Structure 1
């Protein structure tokens, strides 16, 4: 892994990314102001999560700006000088996002998000040159996707009382 020292132009661009994240956080916070704060099931209101996300984004944005202004992102790998992007990876990730959007009301949040995770992971691994199309790898990715999406679904539906599309009427799938 070859690391490079960022040029002044790269430092400016990195600073702009950090400022963009800060502005996104402030925009999310401005939107959270308009959400009612009346506590729901579990003692938190519907504006709780937007406030948590905006605070986390603000902290990340400030750290990105600080890192950029104190010398840039020093641990970046050297660019590959590829003439174009990795289009098969883009196709895998796009297929995952589109499948999620198309199937979320049909197969439910957990399985549509799992499918999105599996397909996006295939694309990202392929972009790194580490594509693994063996059935055991697909199964492992599927189980990890379920392990991530199921607690998110349950947190929203059971603890925050926010309805997400489910596969069954029980509220657990």
Structure 2
């Protein structure tokens, strides 16, 4: 979209995108305030990464707002007329993320991340036109999710001594 063709509606929507990114950064910073800052390994505390991400989002949001107000997103390609958002995929992925957040403390990291993976894959497959209820595909996605989440859990709990919610107190599930 060229600078001359930018309508007030486009300018407003682009500014809202930048403002949304900045608000997301502020929300993450607000959440990072409650995380203890006691230094751990190499002098880095558990609140370090949330602060880095919050600051990065604030900077990116500020740049997006500046870009929108100073002429619009200059490198943005014009929207295709026939392309529509695939909302069912968005719902599947969102459901996976929300289920993970809601269930991680009750069913543990491995199972909640596996569930998140399965639901997200279902949404992404649907966006490609391969949505379905084939039990073999769902079982394959569960196995892949377990093969990804279990080693991550074990690496954090057994090798890095970082406590993640588990199903048992052994540190292996």
Q: TM-score, normalised by structure 1?
A: 0.66
Q: In 2 relative to 1, CA 168–136 (structure 1 residues): closer, same or farther, beyond 3 Å?
A: same
Q: In 2 relative to 1, CA 55–106 (structure 1 residues): closer, same or farther, beyond 3 Å?
A: same
Paired position in structure 1 for 2:111: 111
Q: Is the 8 A contact 2:154 2:171 kept in 1?
A: no
Q: In 2 relative to 1, CA 10–109 (structure 1 residues): closer, same or farther, beyond 3 Å?
A: same
1:108 match: secondary structure:
helix
Aligned-residue offset at 1:128: 4.3
Q: What is the Cα-based RMSD across aligned positions, in Å?
A: 4.0
Q: Is the 8 A contact 1:107 1:167 kept in 2?
A: yes
2:108 match: secondary structure:
helix
Task: Give distance in 2, aligned partners of 1:102 and 1:31.
Answer: 17
Q: In 2 relative to 1, CA 24–14 (structure 1 residues): closer, same or farther, beyond 3 Å?
A: same
Paired position in structure 2 for 1:16: 16
2:92 equivalent to 1:92: yes
Aligned residues: 168
Aligned-residue offset at 1:34: 5.1
Q: TM-score, normalised by structure 2?
A: 0.66
Residues 10-32 of structure 1, C-alpha deviations (whole Å, 9 max, x = no match): 22112112122113323433453
Paired position in structure 2 for 1:151: 152
Aligned-residue offset at 1:167: 2.7
Paired position in structure 1 for 2:64: 64
2:45 match: secondary structure:
coil
Greater relative CO (CA pairs within 8 A, separation 6+): 1
Aligned-residue offset at 1:55: 2.0
Q: Is the 8 A contact 1:118 1:145 kept in 2?
A: no
Paired position in structure 1 for 2:51: 51
Q: Is the 8 A contact 1:15 1:64 kept in 2?
A: yes
Q: In 2 relative to 1, CA 118–79 (structure 1 residues): closer, same or farther, beyond 3 Å?
A: farther
Aligned-residue offset at 1:44: 2.1
Paired position in structure 2 for 1:74: 76
Q: Is the 8 A contact 1:95 1:119 kept in 2?
A: yes
User: Where does structure 1 lack aligned partners over 5 or more consecutive residues?
Assistant: none
